[in-house]
């Protein structure tokens, strides 16, 4: 995968060769990760430390959900038939509070290639250099 050429249908050009590998080309591609790279390819690049996951922020999902805080302090999701306008007071005897959740924050991650210097340093191998000696 490292040295094969790829044809980008979005940009309508061929990228990738021995000197410009696809993973080097994606540094400049705003469409990465695209459908050309399989999940196994991306995991392989992450394990070789050629690309990294980067936190980009939170995506907000709006859903209304009810939680019951019981007298012992535990949180339990409200049953499906729970109606906040007309609650069943017989089943609410153990409930201390009803919590309403209307916003859920989902973390968003983005795959970004590492800089050229750090990627080449990591991919060149881990051969130990001999220590410098003072003369």
Domain ranges of the chain: 1-50, 56-113
Question: In this model, does residue 23 exceed pLDDT 60?
Answer: yes
- Check pLDDT > 60 for residue 4: yes
Q: What pLDDT was estimated at residue 48?
A: 74
Secondary structure of residue 116 in the 3-state scheme? helix
pTM here is 0.40
pLDDT at 72: 92
Output the pLDDT for position 128: 47
How sure is the predictor about 52, in pLDDT bands with cuts at 50, 70 and 90?
confident
DSSP annotation string for 70-102: ETTS-EEEPPTT--SSS--TTTTTTEEEEEEE-
Please, which pLDDT band fits residue 53 given cuts at 50, 70 and 90?
A: confident
d(CA 51, CA 33): 11
What mean pLDDT is predicted for residues 42-70? 82
Q: Which residue has the higher pLDDT, 34 or 98?
A: 98
Decide if 60 contacts 103 (C-beta within 8 A): yes
- Averaged pLDDT of the chain: 74
More confident residue, 13 or 123: 13
Q: Are 100 and 68 in contact (CB under 8 A)?
A: no
Q: Distances from the Cα of 88 to the Cαs of 91, 99, 135, in angstroms?
A: 6, 16, 87
Average pLDDT over residues 119-133: 52
The residue written with tokens 């490292």 in the block is 2
Give the percent of the chain with pLDDT over 70: 64
Residue 125 confidence (pLDDT) above 60: no
Cα–Cα distances (Å) from 121 to 27, 45, 105, 114, in that order, read: 16, 14, 36, 11
How distant, in Å, are the alpha carbons of 65, 88, 99, 108 from that of 105? 14, 31, 17, 9
């Amino acid at each position: 995968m490292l040295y094969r050429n790829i044809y980008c249908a979005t940009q309508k050009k061929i990228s990738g060769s021995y000197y410009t590998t696809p993973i080097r080309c994606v540094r400049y591609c705003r469409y990465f990760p695209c459908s050309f790279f399989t999940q196994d390819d991306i995991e392989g690049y992450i394990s070789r430390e050629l690309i990294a996951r980067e936190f980009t922020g939170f995506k907000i999902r709006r859903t209304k959900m009810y939680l019951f805080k019981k007298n012992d302090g535990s949180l339990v999701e409200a049953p499906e038939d729970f109606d906040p306008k007309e609650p069943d007071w017989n089943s609410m005897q153990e409930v201390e509070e009803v919590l309403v959740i209307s916003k859920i924050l989902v973390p968003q991650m983005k795959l970004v290639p590492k800089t050229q210097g750090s990627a080449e340093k990591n991919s060149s191998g881990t051969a130990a250099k001999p220590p410098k000696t003072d003369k």
